[in-house]
Amino acid sequence: MDVMTKGLWIVGFVLSTAMIGCAPKNVVTLKRDAAPVAAINGFYERAEDGYSMWVPENYQVPKDPGLSTGDLQNLSNPVVGYGMGNGQESTTAGAKLVLHDKNYKPIPGEPATGLTMNIETKGGGADLEGEFKKLTDGMMNEETSKLDLPVGPAYEIKSRVKMVTGDEVWRIHYLICDGEKVYHLEFTTTNGAEAIKDIAPVVADSFRVN
């Protein structure tokens, strides 16, 4: 092995070792053989691109997704909301799925009751623990639990913030990673925690990947 070849081999070895050392440590591959979901009374199945889940019959795609609290903040309106750190901002822009609860009429300037699903792709693998820390960084009044869903591990994060209007915004987040994919399922309401607290776990438990 000549000097140049040896030098290139050493450089390649160092780079590959560095890449291995920097690779995510908590990459999860979800179960594809999780038991099918039996029909749930009052819910219907939504088969989306790469995943499916059961949602309440009153959860429907809105004609106009409107503005969430995060959207309003992004417009730099200082009189709308406060107390929302990193991870608290919710936006419908770019969401893969937006559903509104038809039982609650949206109030202008407030987020609608319903759910959003955001999906990101992380090159090299999605680190569940790292994504959890990123999501909860700066959150206030949150309650967190690590779950074992039928498809695999996930985090549930419950949070509550107050708008300057005096209304409180309740959110329940589910963070699920699968290989390079990060699924962020979020329920939001200003109609009291009861509007989403019983629905959210059922939907999360029904989550399946193709």
Q: Residue 166: what pLDDT?
A: 82
Show the domains of the chain with their CATH numbers: 26-209 (3.40.1000.10)
Q: Residue 163: what pLDDT?
A: 85
Q: Which of 7-11, 74-78, 177-181 has the highest mean pLDDT?
A: 177-181
Residue 77 has pLDDT above 80, yes or no: no
Query: What are the residues facing 185 on neighbouring strands?
Result: 117, 174
Q: Which residue has the tokens 């949206």?
A: 106
Assigned token pair, 143: 């309650």
**What average pLDDT is seen over the chain?**
82
Q: Residue 4: what pLDDT?
A: 52
Q: Residue 2: what pLDDT?
A: 58
* pLDDT single digits (tens) 184-198: 999 999 999 999 999
- Rounded Cα distance between 168 and 164, Å, is 9
Q: Residue 78: what pLDDT?
A: 33
Answer yes or no: are the C-beta atoms of 149 and 158 closer than 8 Å.
no
Q: Report in angstroms the alpha-carbon separations of 192 from 45, 140, 163, 197.
A: 25, 17, 14, 9
Q: Residue 23: what pLDDT?
A: 55
Which residues, at least 6 apart from 37, have a Cβ–Cβ distance to it below 8 Å? 45, 54, 206, 208
* pLDDT single digits (tens) 96-154: 999 999 999 988 888 999 999 999 999 999 999 999 999 999 887 789 999 999 999 99
Residue 87 has pLDDT above 60, yes or no: no
* Percent of the chain scoring above 90 in pLDDT: 63
Predicted model pTM: 0.79
Q: Residue 195: what pLDDT?
A: 97
- Residue 94's pLDDT band (cuts 50, 70, 90): confident
- Rounded Cα distance between 124 and 209, Å, is 19
